[in-house]
A = this chain, B = another copy of it.
Amino acid sequence: MAVTLKQIANIVGVDVSVVSRVLNDKTENYHFTEERMEQIRKIARELGYIPNIYAQAVKTGKFGCVALLLSSHGDRSYLPNLLLDSMHKELEKRGKHLMLTKLPDANGEDYSQTPAILKTLMADGLIVDYTHHVSPGIESRIENFVLPKIWINNKRSKDCVYPDNLKAGVEAARKLIKFGHKNIAYVTDVSYSQNLFGEHYSMSDRYKGYALEMKKNDLEIYKIDGEGKVIPKNKLIDYFVNILSQPDRPTALILYWSLLVPPVLNAARKLGISIPDDLSIITFAGCISQHAGLSINAMIEPENEMGIESVKMLVKKITEPEKSLKSKSLAFSYYDTGSCKKLVRN
C-alpha cells in the first residue's frame, strides 16, 4: 500500500507531526536539526512517499480540485485543447487539480431526479462548459447545485465568461468596409439543423454585430442562410456556386465558422474567382485552425483567455460564494493570411 507519514515517522523515530512539518516546509518556528530534516526527506524520497491529498483535503476543508462540467454529447461539449490547457495551467499555479465530468443529457432524459454525478461530486467549484442546447431541466439542476460555479462560452449576465461574438461580428464587417467593400454578405451555418433547446448565442451575435456595423455605414445587409432551409453538407459547394455566380454577387464574405471555408473555396475555384483578388473572405474560427493550416483571415476565439479568466473568476467565487460576479466578455483576435484586399472598381 501507499506510504504514509506514520511509516516514515516510525522509521526515523519521531512523531508524525514532525514529519508533516518537515515535508511541508512548515518548520519556521521549529528548530529541527538540519540532519534530522534531511533524514526525513531522504526516507520519504526513498519510500516514494506521496502525500494523500484526500486526507489533507478532509483536514483543511478544501478539496484542491475544480470540476469541469461538460455535456455528454460530443458535439455539445466545447473543449478545444487550448482552453483545456490554459485552464489546467491556471489551476496548477494554485495547486488545484482538474476533475472532468460529463452529464448525461440525452433528449427526453428524466431530470426529476438529480443526476448521479451531481450527487457525489466534490470540488471547490465548478466550471460549467455547457454551452448550448442546455435543457431547462438540466440548467436548473446545475444552477441549484451547491458549489460555486462559473459558466463559460455562454452569455449570462453574471458568473460567466464568454467570447464577445457581437464585437467580433462588428470588427469583421468593419475590416471589410475599410477595404472599400459595400456588398458584404454574412453566411450563417447553413447546414445546421435547429436543436430542440435553441442555438448557441454566437449564431445570433456574430450576425448581429455584422448587421450593426453595416447599418452604421448605410450598407445593405445580405444574409446567406439557405433561405430557411438546411443545406446538406454535400450540396454546399453547389449552393455557393449558385450564389457566387449571380451578377450582383458579394465582393466579400463573412463566414460563421471555418467548416464553411472548404466549400466556399471550392465554389470560388470552380467559378474562376480568385481570393483575395476577386473576393475577400473572413471567417470565425477556433485557435486550432491556425495550426491546421487555415488559409483564410479569421476572427480567432479567445480560448486561452477564457481558460485563464474562468479559473480566476472561479477562485474569486470560491472565496466569496454569495457574491455574484459580473460576467466578462473576451475579445477575439485577428488572424491575417491575406485573404482580404482593397476592393478594386471595375
Q: Could you list which residues of chain A lie within 8 angstroms of chain B, going by C-beta atoms?
A: 1-2, 48, 50-55, 57-58, 61, 63, 68, 72, 74-75, 77, 79, 81-82, 84-85, 88-89, 92, 95, 97-102, 116-117, 119-122, 146, 191, 233-234, 259, 262, 266, 269-270, 288, 291-293, 295
In the complex, besides A54-B63, A75-B291, A97-B121, 7 extra interface pairs with C-beta distance below 8 angstroms are A1-B61, A54-B55, A75-B81, A97-B101, A98-B100, A266-B269, A269-B269
Cα distance A127–B116 when bound, in Å? 23
CB < 8 Å neighbour of A48 from B52, B92, B116, B146: B146
Residues of B within 8 A of A99 (CB): 97-100
Known contacts A100-B84, A266-B266; A122 and B50 CB within 8 A of each other: yes
Residues of B within 8 A of A262 (CB): 262
Residues of B within 8 A of A77 (CB): 81
- Chain B proximity of A296: nearest CB distance (Å): 12
- Chain B proximity of A15: nearest CB distance (Å): 20
- Chain B proximity of A114: nearest CB distance (Å): 10
Cα distance A327–B185 when bound, in Å? 54
- Chain B proximity of A57: nearest CB distance (Å): 5
CB < 8 Å neighbour of A58 from B50, B54, B100, B291: B54
Cα distance A12–B270 when bound, in Å? 77
Q: Are B120 and A51 in contact (CB under 8 A)?
A: yes
Residues of B within 8 A of A146 (CB): 2, 48, 50
Q: Are B74 and A82 in contact (CB under 8 A)?
A: yes
What are the nearest 10 A-B pairs in CB distance? A74-B81, A233-B293, A54-B54, A54-B57, A100-B100, A98-B100, A55-B58, A88-B102, A53-B122, A48-B146
